[in-house]
Amino acid sequence: MKIDVAPFRVKEDEKVSLNDRPTHVEPLFPAKAEYAATLAAHAERLEALQEKLYAVPTHALLIVLQGMDSAGKDGAIKRVMSGINPQGCKIASFKTPTPIEARHDFLWRAVLELPERGMIGVFNRSYYEAVLIERVHPELLATEGVYVAPEKLDKFWDDRLRAIRHFERHLTDSGTVLVKIFLHISKDEQRRRLLERIDDPTKAWQASISDVNERKFRKDYRHAYEAALSETSTSYAPWRIVPGDDKPNARLFVSQIVIEELERLPLDPPPLSETRKKELDEIRAALQEK
């Protein structure tokens, strides 16, 4: 079954309103067995595509996952990437900048984690945090040695968003395919998941009062996300807004998007040169010697 993910794409120059985007759609499969079988098939397909990507290192794939607290980013990475060879995958998580990171421009730490050609990279949160959490809490800029007058903040954020567009243009021109996914969950579902962490002994360690405190700024985060999604969804690096309230659905949507992006790439190996054919003949002859 091919899953239609086209409606989730944010068009270039689209003015995003998250209130108009669904957080929930009908389950793709009513039975858990069907869901598990489809996700397993996706994992198998991803594994085959990754092997091709690794064998023909002309492109890299970078998956950028963003979302509100408890949106399901960790689970999506764990389930969707389950069949990937760890040697061909690199996962980076972006939290509060370290003192060294804070002394560089906001894109610097992301550059250090970029996947090389032939690899799949996953950013669990990303350089977008610099136009999200810092936009909601501009006082954090001072920790980076950045001081902006309140009346100049709008231009400051516009400049950062422009820098991101140029950065992503450079990446795509250099052979990196960007898959940017925003996992969109409702406020009620977020509350349910945060309470679930408290009630589940295996998840209680994840519970944090900071998650509760940040819910007070949910409206501000929504506005920050809407600005980022609107200004940085381009033809070369589009955003997808994936309904995230139903975790099984969301994981299938994410894996379908990644598969489609890999399938667009020219991953078949180039024809063998005469020199290479001669080398292979010599290797064959050496192996056949008694």
Residue 1 forms part of a structural domain:
no
Q: For residue 187, what are its two tokens?
A: 């406020």
Region label for 220, one of left (φ > 0), alpha (ψ between -120 and 50) or beta (otherwise): alpha
Question: Tokens for 214?
Answer: 């940040």
C-alpha 59 chain-centroid distance: 17
pLDDT of residue 206: 79
Phi-psi region of 41 (alpha: psi -120 to 50; beta: other; left: phi over 0): alpha
Distance CA 208, CA 192 (A): 14
Domain contains 142: yes
DSSP single-letter state for residue 139: G
pLDDT of amino acid 163: 98
CATH number assigned to the domain comprising residue 70: 3.40.50.300
262 within some domain: yes
Element (H, E) at 99: helix 99-102
Whats the size of the chain, residue-wise?
290
pTM over 0.75: yes
Domain containing 275: what range?
A: 6-288
Would you state the pLDDT for residue 290?
61
Provide the number of structural domains found in the chain: 1
CA distance 199 to 277: 62
Please check whether residue 209 lies inside any domain of the structure: yes
Domain assignment present for 195: yes
Task: Tell me if 240 is assigned to some domain.
Answer: yes
What string of pLDDT tens digits covers the 290 residues of the chain? 689 999 999 999 999 999 999 999 999 998 889 999 999 999 999 999 999 999 989 999 999 999 998 999 999 999 998 888 888 899 999 999 999 999 999 999 999 999 999 999 999 999 999 999 999 999 999 999 999 999 999 999 999 999 999 999 999 999 999 999 999 999 999 999 999 989 888 888 877 888 888 889 999 999 999 999 999 999 999 999 999 999 999 999 999 999 999 999 998 887 888 898 899 988 998 899 86
Q: How far apart are CA 148 and CA 141, in angstroms?
A: 8
Residue 208 has a pLDDT of 83
Residue 272 burial class via C-beta count within 10 angstroms: exposed 0-12, middle 13-18, buried 19 and up: exposed
